[in-house]
Amino acid sequence: MSPPNSAPSDSGTGRPSRRGVLVGVGAAGLLGLLGLRACVPWRTDAVPGDLRTLTRGEARLFMRVIPVFLPVAGTALVPLDRIDVLHNIDRQAARLPREARALLRQALFALDHGAVVLGGRLTRAANLDDADLHAWLVAWSEGGALQRAAFGAVKQLVALGYFGDPGTWAPLQYDGPITGPRAIPRLGNQPLPEV
């Protein structure tokens, strides 16, 4: 009698059968190919080479989520092709403290690669089509605390990358910070006076 966790063997010799070996090798090969396919980017989106902070994978993910978070087509808002949202996000990420930047990297990695591990998809989130990517983002916005935090960080950076650009202000009838035209000195994050 063979031990309970051993592979099927040839007629009591204790060696695994050829069929068992072939099935095991085939399954391992299939899992390896699926894992490789899921991790290798296949979209042909051209990632700018002059980004200071974002990696190519992070930039590719942002390039995919920007139009999902900012569906400005057909509205009075400035079209996405006229605002360099990705470079604005890169500059915002560069200003983050080192610890916050490390957490952002982890959040982006989890959001992108989580589509394979948690979502049961056979590719990264950056490779999903628009409908699947939207569904994936909605799932993260309604997920656990860490998923919601990662989703919120990405959404906030996208919003800052777009609306923080002065080129987007005219349709909103926003003239910019009031401190400029009225010559009010900026106090940074000073506490408000107590009453």
pLDDT of residue 17: 75
With CA atoms as reference, report the closest residue to 108 among 14, 120, 96.
96
Domain range holding 71?
56-169
Regarding predicted confidence, which is higher, 186 or 164? Answer: 164
In the structure encoding, which two tokens stand for residue 94, read together? 């560069």
pLDDT tens column, 23-40: 666 655 555 545 544 455
Q: How many structural domains compose the chain?
A: 1
pLDDT tens column, 136-174: 999 999 999 999 999 999 999 999 999 999 999 999 999
Residue 2: pLDDT above 80?
A: no
Is 191 part of any domain? no
Is 141 part of any domain? yes
List phi, psi (to 5°) of 9: -120, 160
Is 47 part of any domain? no
Dist CA 83 CA 87 (whole Å): 9
Which residues, including other chains, have CB under 8 Å from residue 43's CB and lie 6 or more apart? 60, 64, 126, 127
Residue 87: pLDDT above 50?
A: yes
Is 88 part of any domain? yes
Regarding predicted confidence, which is higher, 42 or 19? Answer: 19
Helices assigned H by DSSP within 40-144: 56-69, 85-95, 98-117, 130-141
Which residues, including other chains, have CB under 8 Å from residue 174's CB and lie 6 or more apart? none
pTM comes to: 0.70
Is 28 part of any domain? no
Is 165 part of any domain? yes
For residue 104, what pLDDT band results from cuts at 50, 70 and 90? very high
